[in-house]
Structure 1
């Protein structure tokens, strides 16, 4: 049966979710979660929140789904310990270092892979299953055919987003908010720049990156037949009334009620951006998926009814069976049993001989069934009542209250977790040699003579370029170390084409691939190729570096969201490089921003720019030959003048990333690698500013 997973950004939202039929809730506690702007819970409030849910048969998943730095790991360890002691059912995690830390501290605590891990293929699911994850939340961009294939073959539970906000970028691959405003989406601080107006080539007050909210309520039966285990409703930043409305409507649909026009209307009133979209699920991307939030008059009657569901009522959602004995000369006995097999019992007073009217089985059943104000509903009452006896109603009520209170205590109880103390990993300092250069390009035309004379340690070239010009790269591979750059997104239906291209690259003598997604590691292993880790793996702490080393990578790229001191202190168990030049990639989108503008695929027709209201420009390029868009920063990252400072960081390499530059511009950069920093055209990125 499909699990209905609802958001709980506050205590009221938690009550709204539970009272309206959620099977599970997800919530954050004091930082380290992707909705830092929600009210969230304190660690002291967490045990009571878990008890409240467990008594009512609702599971609790704690979100620890942000990237963390080395200095934050001890605090994260405290969160993991508190979560385990509180009895949460699972942690939702993005950072592989956090996952490793949880396995070390609380090995029995289940791990769910956040959508921030950008898992979009069966191989990605399998890779995380091998790392101990028991559930994987898929990328929201996947169409139903891809979801179905993964579900049929997955070794673990699969969760999909069914309702709520859609990010323009693949989750976990968005750096736009961080780079332009220091508010990192990977750390729960996204400022939602995709919701702002832009224009193509000039500012036009259009909204080419503001997606409508997702709504899959018409496809719940289909998702269940696919084998999806959990339906996630997005909305930890939303008010409790929203949670109540959306949870209640999806609960009714899952329970078999036909979706009505009034349901769709209520969902729109609760929150929408000019309606909803099913575009990703149906595989129909395009302009029709976009919309903005419009001013609306609140439906006060709807909101009041939603509040009443959790402020004034205690839904009786836990079925129980009562067993009672009222016999001559002995204390009355009452027991209760829930569906999980918990049995609690209590004694009452000795019944007296009836002077007027004797207690009957029906009367006893009626009194025991009065469970209002509790989460319990009497499914059955089985009793033995000797004739001619009476027992005061107050005594029956007391016994019922006492036995149900005992049952609540038992249902809330969890075995004491087996916890180990936090252990910091010994630091690995990296190389003492001066870092070498690596270079990445987007096209063969960018590989100039001057670039080759630089003799980069590795030249990174998109796999699609190598497949298009095999003779050129066969000759080049004989005198220059090459590595193919894989698209960050490769659906299962696209894997065959990728493997064929990898086989071609291997036949040319290329033995290394740069990858930004763990789901591609097994594909590279199958072709005997070395896997070099790219920035898309979001490496921000030493424990994650150790995990990636154990996965068999040959080198790593540090996240460009790190500051220089954080990068310096990062352990380097593998050769580690950093980006020092180029337009930083801000977004990776399934919706092709170029086709959405022109109506046809014209990705190779020349540079396309988005312009914001301040006149800043953002170039758009294709991701490694696919029709997915990469939004680039307007200013170029430049740290080439800081090479002497970087010598002490233990880095293996400094990477120059050429994207929109033509051959002449590339030669100009390479001809003067000591050029001073130009604040008008360049940026230091986040290396000095850091992120929130």
Structure 2
């Protein structure tokens, strides 16, 4: 038996080869991803996806797109990763039926109710828990598994150490699911699924795919009432882009199943460029780790089948990769949170838009010529921009006409009147923003009609004199075909069918999706077969494999099922139970310090929530409430609920233990760890659980026994009404006054800009010494606070009120109305509580309260997200 390039037995490999998952906002991007080595792509349809600004695909595109992908051995995942409102459930159900019937490989989902609906419609269609579900721990993985998910996309904020810890914990607890992580692309400064900034500032919800990218804007840092001079650092919330290239070996060793590239809003050149870099780098990593590549996507040459660019031959592979990534799109590249928290590196704060490759600094300007001390290669035709430290203003830039290289410097000329030289200065930085030669090369990778990226097949041949030649081909994806010759093998007097000759003939797979990855020769004796017959066998293998691949996946799909069946009881029965227990309307108050708590107690509030930076202070808060009961002889003991931080990472249960040690009456739960940890206690579900439809509400209310749920802050009045009429209104409390928590983030602004430290171990805790706000471009000062985990929340400086909707909400059956305070003085707390008490008692109208608050509050109030938008 002769074997050439034998297939790898993946079971013997020490490390699993992760899938490379690329973004596709349109057909060109899909083709760019496929032709540059993506194992799978993810894409949105024209509804219910978190990138509504992308071109996206239509339902009618699905069959053709999925067939194209599957013929090429690539999987296709649909993003259905937004919150779904009650009146959209019927449409979402039809969407899901179309997706499942089209043979899509999985849906990427944020909404808990949609996970339930998918599993109701199909017992086997794969669900991937989106990063919008904010999974940061083993408890989150277990939550997703209980929902019926097949894979979890971890939050981008998870470090390599934390990923390893999650893997160990889910293996120990036997709740293991495959894990996916983002390896490259733009970083949201806030936790995905927990950012309410666009909703707060403009009614464009990030949880609905309408992010306005307020994190990329300029802010001033105000500490203790004074503007902090940060020089040219103005983009305080704009992270550098993620590039996991340098930690790729460590990522593979964590055992993650999928590496995801961000960028559904990006051009096909970006998709092709970045996918190719990571495809080649991943192949090199797997080879270094001792696993021969079963895909062998770039067979010719080291690191690729195509020749490296002539102009960059002198650049090492790693430098070339970084150059390509920066040219694809870059606000600066870093490893994000993979290596742990480094607040100095994550946000350089000098610009928030694409820059590209740093070319160098201007050393001389003479007549129409500009001399630059080079840090990167440059050539005629390249596009550049001059950076004077004011990226928010119009910047000079253009295409280079000539380059005169002299040692480390280059003198550049430009087209006549292309630049206003008066706006360019010695010392300005220069960025290369475009490389036409690279773009041209990249476009060639996906512009042809025939497949350019080929995936290997393994072929074995059998036969002996007098019998047909049998060839069995496997594509590595589970597809196997067998073909045989129409004529018998005859004895060879010369040129027998050696392994080499079989490789030569069967390996001529140009213009097909395949290449010969390995051939095993089981032929007995010296035999021969005409070349024409070998060619026919080769063509038949290709045809049959493509036909097998093109067949849509047949997921189970229950035809009579509907979302209404997931309601545990008929709605009429639930409503009747709710109406039989009508309660007096109650004002619930959330405070963030002990003085505010004292004011709320003095106002007679019976249900109090505390959210303090230091959970150890909760013991004092509980004692204060119980002492007040004894001293003032309350008719009933006020209930005090305390809030753990919004995020709980692997290894942070000590924080939850600190919270529980205060012996409060109950807990305001924000995430999956807290649902698990406080499972035997009285619990209220907070807004961060993203309850936006009755299927999600029913799951949290009935599976976890939560007393009440806080309606999602993404709902306007019409959507909230639809939620309240689709399940019992007494399940919910509605927040009617608050400073919206806009950004909730791992990035610590205190550490980054008020210290030289990298994290809590060396920052000196400026958060404990200074009161800080962030002033935006229109002059509003947004409040910055840190929690015990050093995560920051930016609260909208302008309070929002739903006072004008309270009477309508009362008619709908709402009985719990929450008002929240951040840094208000106790006098203002008392006055605001009094007004809302008068509102609930019918003594003043919502319009009166609205007008009065506008006059009282220095910053004014807005009507906030409840205001119905067109």
Specify if TM > 0.5: yes
- Does 2:758 align with 1:620? no
Structural mapping, 1:88-237, within 5 Å: 88-154=104-170, 155-201=176-222, 206-237=234-265
Match of 1:584 in 2: 740
TM-score (norm 1): 0.91
Give the secondary-structure state (helix, strand or coil) at the position aligned to 1:303.
helix
Whole-angstrom distance in 2 between the partners of 1:349 and 1:490: 66
Match of 2:862 in 1: 683
Give the secondary-structure state (helix, strand or coil) at the position aligned to 2:740.
strand
- Does 2:542 align with 1:404? yes
Give the secondary-structure state (helix, strand or coil) at the position aligned to 2:798.
strand
- Does 2:57 align with 1:36? no
The structure 2 residue matched to 1:635, chosen from 790, 795, 798, is: 798
Deviates more, 1:301-310 or 1:438-447: 301-310
- Does 2:661 align with 1:661? no
Give the secondary-structure state (helix, strand or coil) at the position aligned to 2:651.
helix
Whole-angstrom distance in 1 between the partners of 2:64 and 2:824: 57
CA RMSD across the alignment: 2.9
Q: Please list the CA deviations of residues 390-422 of structure 1 after superposition, one character each: whole Å capped at 9, or x if unmatched.
A: 6463x5444432331121111233553221232
- Does 2:572 align with 1:422? no
Runs (5+) with no aligned partner, structure 2: 1-15, 171-175, 289-316, 356-384, 386-431, 630-636, 756-762, 837-843
- Does 2:700 align with 1:548? yes
Match of 1:493 in 2: 651
Whole-angstrom distance in 2 between the partners of 1:531 and 1:322: 62
Q: Please list the CA deviations of residues 353-380 of structure 1 after superposition, one character each: whole Å capped at 9, or x if unmatched.
A: 99x9988556565332211111112222
Match of 1:336 in 2: 473
Q: Number of paired residues?
A: 680
* Alpha-carbon shift at residue 238 of structure 1 (Å): 1.2
Q: Please list the CA deviations of residues 593-642 of structure 1 after superposition, one character each: whole Å capped at 9, or x if unmatched.
A: 2332311532244542212222233121234x442211111221122344
Distance 1:310 1:32, change over 3 A: same
Distance 1:209 1:464, change over 3 A: closer
Runs (5+) with no aligned partner, structure 1: none
The structure 1 residue matched to 2:32, chosen from 16, 22, 42, is: 16
* Alpha-carbon shift at residue 494 of structure 1 (Å): 2.2
Q: Please list the CA deviations of residues 51-98 of structure 1 after superposition, one character each: whole Å capped at 9, or x if unmatched.
A: 233333323222111111011111211222122222222221111011
The structure 2 residue matched to 1:371, chosen from 509, 517, 533, is: 509
- Does 2:710 align with 1:557? yes
Checking the alignment, whether the CA contact within 8 Å between 1:197 and 1:613 is kept in structure 2 is: yes
Q: Please list the CA deviations of residues 211-238 of structure 1 after superposition, one character each: whole Å capped at 9, or x if unmatched.
A: 1001121212212222222221111111
Checking the alignment, whether the CA contact within 8 Å between 2:247 and 2:335 is kept in structure 1 is: no
- Does 2:677 align with 1:523? yes
Distance 1:333 1:606, change over 3 A: closer
Match of 2:609 in 1: 460
Q: Please list the CA deviations of residues 549-589 of structure 1 after superposition, one character each: whole Å capped at 9, or x if unmatched.
A: 22332210001221212212213456211110121111101
Distance 1:390 1:401, change over 3 A: closer
* Alpha-carbon shift at residue 324 of structure 1 (Å): 7.0
Match of 2:720 in 1: 567
Distance 1:235 1:587, change over 3 A: same
TM-score (norm 2): 0.73
Checking the alignment, whether the CA contact within 8 Å between 2:586 and 2:817 is kept in structure 1 is: yes
Whole-angstrom distance in 1 between the partners of 2:795 and 2:210: 20
Give the secondary-structure state (helix, strand or coil) at the position aligned to 2:589.
strand
Give the secondary-structure state (helix, strand or coil) at the position aligned to 1:6.
strand
Give the secondary-structure state (helix, strand or coil) at the position aligned to 1:660.
coil
* Alpha-carbon shift at residue 249 of structure 1 (Å): 1.5
Whole-angstrom distance in 1 between the partners of 2:615 and 2:622: 6
* Alpha-carbon shift at residue 317 of structure 1 (Å): 1.0
Whole-angstrom distance in 1 between the partners of 2:255 and 2:471: 41
- Does 2:437 align with 1:301? yes
Whole-angstrom distance in 2 between the partners of 1:669 and 1:388: 95
Q: Please list the CA deviations of residues 225-255 of structure 1 after superposition, one character each: whole Å capped at 9, or x if unmatched.
A: 2222222111111112212221222122221
